[in-house]
A and B are shown apart, each in its own frame.
Chain A
């Protein structure tokens, strides 16, 4: 599971960047809760659960501007071989949502990202533990800093008779440099789109369908080093076997794919339910060379999944809720070498996530909530080159809890905690087992047409042999209605 976790989290982050609402930090400050607390950013609807842009105007009818800055930091020696010792991620973003007439809604987001990887060992690519088995590496540990802009836009149109149409587009480009040999320059371009339709059959029942095509191009430029030497790089096929190349050339990785998401939501006075399915395909091709591109490998992955969320509200005001979420994902991937088209890598991954939780208004001014999350994965990887067939459970159990104290109708104090216990079968040799504890805090302030929400999280994961990883996140958001 951890093999894809970094990339999955980043994609999730991109996805939520466009659906983010100003109150997102509210739940972060309350222990990182998800949907057990009714909130503008935690609605059980197809826009937020399945990312259906057609329902943008049904998610939030107001027009607003929104300024955000985030810092996600973690550091320590509890890591996988190719992970960085220190990861500092910062962004600065400006968003807006505007209702255009009765039937159209537009939202946009401009964001600049700084992503620093300190002492990243060997790997000279952004996501060495992504799903594909191709990894570009050298022989040194060094710092990489990626930075660049990301632009997201969404548009929703009420087509009448309960029909809604929507489109979304995310484009990002960033550039990273490693400060010591092999001194590569890494350029990543990513474009993700969504084409959405929704049919609101009644006030209770809505159906939706989304198509999400995407394309990513990563180019790693290897040039003669500042000391006059030619760079020597390793091209891994799997985690163990690699080819070595001395010389200058570009490494180009083209990935593309798309995903279909059929969706359904239903609600009444007490129940809110949303369900969607996923079927996606990813193709990836690698090329070597600056002028003549030499085909160097192919990876393909099929993803199937389902996502269901249900929330029960004891009263219409949401003073007391119960919440359950179940996610299932299945990945089936393979890779072949380029010359003879021989299969050298095969992977299967079944992933289950169950979240149960609830919230309760303990008094007029105190709201408390708790969520228990269980991640259970059974990945299997067959590396035909290294003659390794690995299969073993990876699980993570997390307990998140938090509270909100309403000092007055405009000022809220929030706090929470996160406990987690990670288990990894020893065949993987990634992190080993570890446990972690974090505390969270923040406040919310409403004044005039503004809302300010802050959150911070600090904690540590403890692994075996005194391995640890510290976490420190700081988030600030300001929303302005107009």
Chain B
């Protein structure tokens, strides 16, 4: 009687600690897609009935695996004559898929003239281990014809003095017509994950800085097609203070708070319009958002959890563009996915001297994860 008990006990002791080895292997997944042009840029294939985005280099960029510091691991393949691309040996991860943008020309339906436009494809997906192979149909995008936030430099320069006052926001007119800055507002998004984030008809902000002029109707401050607008936190040569900081003395605009007693540099002002906010325009160094709205409407919302200040609500229908950035891809969203479905700046460290910039000027799918890339060297105003 004793022997079986002891034997069973020994078996239990071993069996309890041994886990069964998985049969499904990582690194064995594949991805197939057909890329179609819906913009009329590429020639229609009469047999297949679509215009294949043919012989273009497609890049898959892993969200999890890297090849060097800040450099995601990449898989590359060419689309074939039918626009098909097939990539194998993928690890379990989220991926960003894109093609390099190609310059092309077409007849503008509006002006009847030849337009130079950039076109490519972009998407993201996560490996589905159950399916093994991902299958997608992708469509080409072109540059969005709008005024957009094109680059944000928030991380601060490489320094040990905690200096980050050379932040800037760059706008870009990606349309083929003149746009106007009059009365537009640039806001720092609140750093809250609002419980009704996806159903609210507003976005929350902390600061509101406004361009001069009359919202919606003003025409005093034009932005020509293809023109950049640089708005500096302080339009001065910051490299005089910190070697690695930026020279923003040529900025056309600067954020200015007349209530904060700060120096008013020669650049034109984008002015704080909230009397209870006495700080300059500063945004968080790792996770925050910037909102560009037409300035026609905003109102006070709920009070801060502590203190007497109130959040500012910007109605979504007035928002022209919004960009949320976070160094951590797993952060909670603070701007609704209706305006921005992802994060720019994943993996971008504080005080790294890096910025986030659109993949191509003006490229906007309302998903900053797709639209933005991390730039080693900021490009203020260009």
A56–B160 CA distance with the chains assembled, in angstroms: 59
Bound CA span A75–B102, Å = 54
- A246 — nearest CB in chain B belongs to which residue? B349
Q: Which residues of A368-385 have CB atoms within 8 Å of chain B's CB atoms?
A: 384-385
Tell me if A341 is interfacial: C-beta within 8 Å of chain B.
yes
B27 located at the interface, meaning its Cβ lies under 8 Å from any Cβ of chain A in the complex: yes
Residue from B13, B19, B160, B328 in contact with A298 in the complex, judged by beta carbons closer than 8 Å: B19
Taking a contact as CB atoms under 8 Å apart, the answer to whether B27 and A384 are in contact is: yes
- Contact B18 A281, beta carbon cutoff 8 Å: yes
Check A336 for interface membership: any CB of B closer than 8 A.
yes
Q: Who on chain B is nearest to A333 by CB? A: B21
Bound-state Cα–Cα, A302 to B18, Å: 9
Q: Fill in one digit per residue for B351-366: 1 if any A CB lies within 8 Å of its CB, else 0.
A: 1100000000000000
Q: Are B162 and A385 in contact (CB under 8 A)?
A: no
Please tell me if the beta carbons of A341 and B349 are within 8 angstroms of each other in the complex.
no
Decide: A384 and B92 in contact? CB cutoff 8 A.
no
Question: Are A344 and B27 within 8 A (Cβ)?
Answer: yes
B338 to chain A, nearest CB (A): 28
Task: Name A's interface SS.
Answer: strand
Q: Could you tell me if B27 and A386 are in contact, using CB atoms closer than 8 angstroms?
A: yes
What CA separation (Å) do A336 and B27 show in the bound complex? Answer: 12
Q: A337-B92, A340-B129 are in contact. Are A242 and B17 (CB under 8 A)?
A: no
Contact of A342 among B22, B69, B347 (CB under 8 A): B22
Which one of A241, A339, A343, A387 lies within 8 Å of B65 (CB-CB)? A241
Q: How far is the CB of B92 from chain A (nearest CB, A)?
A: 5
Q: Which residue of B lies closest to A346 (CB)?
A: B21
Q: With A246-B327, A283-B17 given, is the CB distance from A232 to B349 under 8 Å?
A: yes
Pair count A-B, CB < 8 A: 93
A247's partner among B17, B91, B327 (CB-CB below 8 A) is: B327
Q: Which residues of A contact B92 (CB under 8 A)?
A: 337, 339-340, 342
CB of A385 within 8 A of CB of B351, answer no
**Chain B residue contacts of A244, Cβ below 8 A:** 66, 69-70, 347
Shortest CB–CB separation between residue B327 and chain A, in angstroms? 6
A residues near B70, Cβ cutoff 8 Å = 232, 244
Given contacts A247-B327, A258-B17, A340-B129, contact A229 B25 (CB under 8 A): no
- In the complex, chain B residues whose CB is within 8 Å of the CB of A246: 327-328, 347-349
User: Do the beta carbons of A384 and B25 come within 8 Å of each other?
Assistant: yes
- A residues in contact with B65, CB < 8 Å: 241-243, 385
Interfacial chain B residues near A247, Cβ < 8 Å: 327-328
A300 interfacial contact with B, CB 8 Å: yes
- A343/B23 in contact, CB under 8 A: yes
Q: Are A230 and B350 in contact (CB under 8 A)?
A: yes
Interface size band for B: 35 or more
The 8 A CB mask of B159-183 against A (1 = contact, 0 = none) is: 0101000000000000000000000
* A377 to B25 Cα, complex, angstroms: 26
Q: Determine the chain B residues whose CB is within 8 A of the CB of A229 once the complex forms.
A: 349-352
Number of interface residues of A (CB under 8 A): 35
The listed residue (A243, A283, A342) touching B129 by CB distance below 8 A is A342
Hey, which chain A residues are within 8 Å of B349, CB to CB?
A: 229-230, 232, 246
Cβ of B43 within 8 Å of any chain A Cβ, yes or no, is no
Contact B89 A300 (CB under 8 A): no
Residue of A nearest to B286 (CB): A230
In the assembly, what is the distance between CA of A339 and CA of B65, in Å?
Answer: 14
For A257, the chain B residues whose CB sits under 8 A away are 17
Partner of B350 from A228, A242, A340 at Cβ < 8 Å:
A228
Chain A 213-230 per-residue mask, 1 if CB under 8 angstroms from chain B, else 0: 000000000000001111
B24 at the interface (CB under 8 A from A): yes
Interface residues in B275-311 (C-beta closer than 8 Å to A): 286
Write the nearest CB–CB distance from A212 to chain B, whole angstroms.
13
Most buried by A among B26, B129, B349, B352: B26
Q: How far is the CA of A341 from the CA of B19 in the complex (A)?
A: 12
In the assembled complex, the CB of A292 is this many whole angstroms from the nearest CB of chain B, namely 11
Beyond A257-B17, A300-B18, A343-B25, 7 additional pairs, beta carbon < 8 A: A228-B160, A229-B349, A232-B70, A246-B328, A281-B18, A334-B21, A340-B129
Interface residues of chain A, those whose CB is within 8 Å of chain B, are 139, 227-230, 232, 234, 241-244, 246-247, 257-258, 260, 279, 281, 283, 298, 300, 302, 334, 336-337, 339-344, 384-387
A-B contact pairs, 21 of them (CB 8 A): A228-B162, A228-B351, A230-B286, A230-B349, A232-B70, A243-B65, A244-B70, A244-B347, A246-B327, A246-B328, A257-B17, A279-B14, A281-B14, A281-B17, A283-B19, A337-B92, A341-B22, A342-B26, A343-B24, A344-B27, A384-B27
